[in-house]
Chain A
Amino acid sequence: AQTVTQSQPEMSVQEAETVTLSCTYDTSENNYYLFWYKQPPSRQMILVIRQEAYKQQNATENRFSVNFQKAAKSFSLKISDSQLGDTAMYFCAFTASGAGSYQLTFGKGTKLSVIP
């Protein structure tokens, strides 16, 4: 079974600064996908970024980037130039590759507050 651990229940960052959210996972699979989702106070779950395990290059989406360390089973999210709208819960999620793999395993989340 896969597990996803987010060790930081809460974090805060000054507006315009950079913050890194941690995520580690445990799996015996070799091929899999990792995701970061954002859940603002409105509660809508929004996909932020996605990483395929077979790709060595770290995924980036505008101000969001990941540091994927496959050997260490680590998948951290870096938010650059933090904005007030980044205030949200952030969830790391994992899904195994291969036919019939549908389940997303989520971490418990990190509550990020961006301070003006």
Chain B
Amino acid sequence: SQTIHQWPATLVQPVGSPLSLECTVEGTSNPNLYWYRQAAGRGLQLLFYSVGIGQISSEVPQNLSASRPQDRQFILSSKKLLLSDSGFYLCAWSGSASNQPQHFGDGTRLSIL
């Protein structure tokens, strides 16, 4: 069966520091991968998605970036965090065909001080 791992579970970072959140998927090949942000009391906002190694699509302009160095690895990064980057970040995967349901990791609670 497929599993998705996301870490760390919680992270406290100072303003201006870098960020790296990692997500890996097991049990499937060539998945679509996604990064979402969930602000308090709100739904999910898609930040990035990837349909293959090195292929990244950005949905919202921001100071975050994403990379996919391997088929089942998806990384969310920032060179300098802002206070507004605080939130709950979720990684998800789906089958490579369109309209497949997305399956989520446990999320990372990011607090910027």
Question: Across the two chains, which residue of chain A brings its CB closest to B57?
Answer: A102
Q: Is the CB of A45 within 8 A of B101?
A: no
Supposing A43-B106, A45-B104 touch, asked if A107 and B98 sit within 8 A by C-beta, the answer is: no
Majority secondary structure of chain A interface residues (helix, strand, loop or mixed): loop
Chain A residues near B44: list those with CB within 8 A.
45, 91, 104, 106
The answer, among A44, A98, A100, for a CB contact under 8 Å with B107, is A44
Q: A43-B88, A43-B107 are in contact. Are A102 and B43 (CB under 8 A)?
A: no
**What's the dominant secondary structure at chain B's contact region?**
strand
Nearest residue (CB) in B for A95 is B99
Query: Would you call A78 an interface residue if the criterion is a C-beta within 8 Å of the partner chain's C-beta atoms?
Result: no
In Å, the complex CA distance between A37 and B36 comes to: 14
Binary CB contact string for chain A from 72 to 106 against chain B (1 if under 8 A, 0 otherwise): 00000000000000000001000101111111101
- Tell me the nearest residue of chain B to A32, going by C-beta: B99
B64 adjacent to chain A (CB < 8 Å): no
* Contacting residues, chain A, for B42 (C-beta < 8 A): 108-109
B56 smallest CB distance to A (angstroms): 12
Alpha-carbon gap, A101 to B51, bound state (A) = 11
Do A45 and B98 have beta carbons less than 8 Å apart? no
Q: Is A47 an interface residue (CB 8 A)?
A: yes
Query: In chain B, what residue has the closest Cβ to A33?
Result: B99
Are B51's CB and A102's CB within 8 A? yes
Q: Are A103 and B107 in contact (CB under 8 A)?
A: no
User: How far apart are the CA atoms of A109 and B109 in the complex, in Å?
Assistant: 19
Interface string of A40-78 (1 = CB under 8 A from B): 001111110010000000000000000000000000000
Contacts of A109 in B (CB 8 A): 42-43
Is B49 positioned at the interface, with any CB of A under 8 Å from its CB? yes
B24 on the A face (CB < 8 A): no
Q: Per-residue CB proximity of B77-113 to A under 8 Å, as 1/0?
A: 0000000000010101010001101111111010000
Interface residues of chain B, those whose CB is within 8 Å of chain A, are 32, 34, 41-46, 49, 51, 57, 59, 88, 90, 92, 94, 98-99, 101-107, 109
Which residues of A approach B to under 8 Å, CB–CB? Answer: 4, 33, 35, 37, 42-47, 50, 91, 95, 97-104, 106-109
